[in-house]
Amino acid sequence: MQRIGVLFVCLGNICRSPSAQAVLEDRLERRGLGARFHVDSCGTAAFNVGKPPDPRAIAAAERRGYRIAHQRARQVDDADFARFRYIVAMDRANLRTLEGWATADFGGELRLLMHFGVGGRGGEVADPYYGSAEAFDAALDAIERGVEGLLDYLCARHGADFDAGRRCASENPRTP
């Protein structure tokens, strides 16, 4: 069984994308689908490579039961376009960077996370880095909404592969 690759991308890979990775991993595990996916995150910039997530992102995630402190930032590379079928950006600037970076043979999908959120209007997950602790909570709120929509999309696309879709039934989102 080949695992379906989902890669979340922001600028530095220390706030939004590691949080999105943790949220999707949580949702997949709760539905018994974790073994069917390979989920990762990275940044378009290299300045945080090897660093852990921002302490405020770690705190916001931990308040909701997600663990991200073990993650280390990395930069997107050409091989990611072969490893991941779904590459999901947090904002338009990073989406444009990914579109320019994509290899000629990339056959997957490049999308904004909020394309999958309520209404599907393709909004952005605001970068909380220069904001307050509340900005990290707001970013996580948006990420949770986007991930729920993304998971619904993935289940619609691949549900037949997941035990006739039984495991794709929506669950109530985690409460803070």
Which sequence positions are flagged as catalytic?
Answer: 10, 16, 127
Taking CA atoms, 7 is separated from 18, 69, 130, in Å, by 10, 18, 24
Sign of CA dihedral 126, 127, 128, 131: negative
Residues 1, 82 contacting (CB under 8 angstroms): no
